[in-house]
């Protein structure tokens, strides 16, 4: 499975809309070499960290 598809699959499984948005935009920004976005206000610090770690794992696995 390619990285973009894996990021989409992970983002679509998130129930919180802020997590879903952040996972998609953070993952695509890193994948395409752009600056990652700031966390949305409705997303906790720990929630943001969890999303970031999971996306980095997806990108590392290749």
Pairwise CA distance, residues 56 & 51, whole Å: 9
pLDDT digits (tens, 9 = 90+) for 2-58: 999 999 999 999 999 999 999 999 999 999 999 999 999 989 999 999 999 999 999
13 phi and psi angles, rounded to 5 deg = -90, -10
Other beta carbons within 10 angstroms of residue 13's beta carbon come to: 10
Is 1 a residue whose pLDDT tops 70? no
- Its pTM stands at 0.88
Q: Which residue range(s) make up the domain with 29? A: 3-61
Q: How many domains does the chain have?
A: 1
């Amino acid at each position: 499975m390619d990285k973009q598809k894996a990021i989409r699959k992970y983002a679509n499984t998130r129930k919180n809309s802020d997590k879903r948005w952040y996972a998609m935009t953070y993952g695509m920004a890193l994948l395409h070499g752009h600056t990652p976005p700031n966390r949305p206000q409705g997303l906790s610090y720990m929630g943001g960290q969890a999303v970031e770690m999971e996306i980095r794992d997806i990108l590392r696995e290749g």
